[in-house]
Amino acid sequence: VVGAVKGKVPVLFDGGIRRGTDVFKALALGAQAVLIGRPAVYGLAAKGEYGVKRVIEMLRDELELTMALSGCPTLNHISRKHVRTKHERPRAML
């Protein structure tokens, strides 16, 4: 999708975000924003407003750790080179 719109439309990633590493991958694949509906609802159901805040803190902390381990000091440093898709993985010749 990112390649198809060629920067003309912002790409928002919605669905499947459960961890900070998921946020990192979505941003590396070109998303300008990541939506976190279900985790926020889980936090709300478990602990109300505090639960939502805690979910957001956990996602942020996990994203920051992933960025640090990947050598990305800011969000702008996350790039396509940080991820490989299923089709880009090396395959065994056995």
Q: Looking at residue 7, what is its pLDDT?
A: 81
Helix count and strand count (H, E) for the chain: 3, 2
E strand map for the chain: 12-14, 33-35
Q: How far is CA 19 from CA 5, 7, 53, 78, 80, in A?
A: 27, 26, 15, 16, 19
pTM: 0.84
pLDDT digits (tens, 9 = 90+) for 16-72: 899 999 999 999 999 999 999 999 999 999 999 999 999 999 999 999 999 999 999
Residue matched to tokens 């089709």: 87
* Domains of the chain by residue range: 12-72
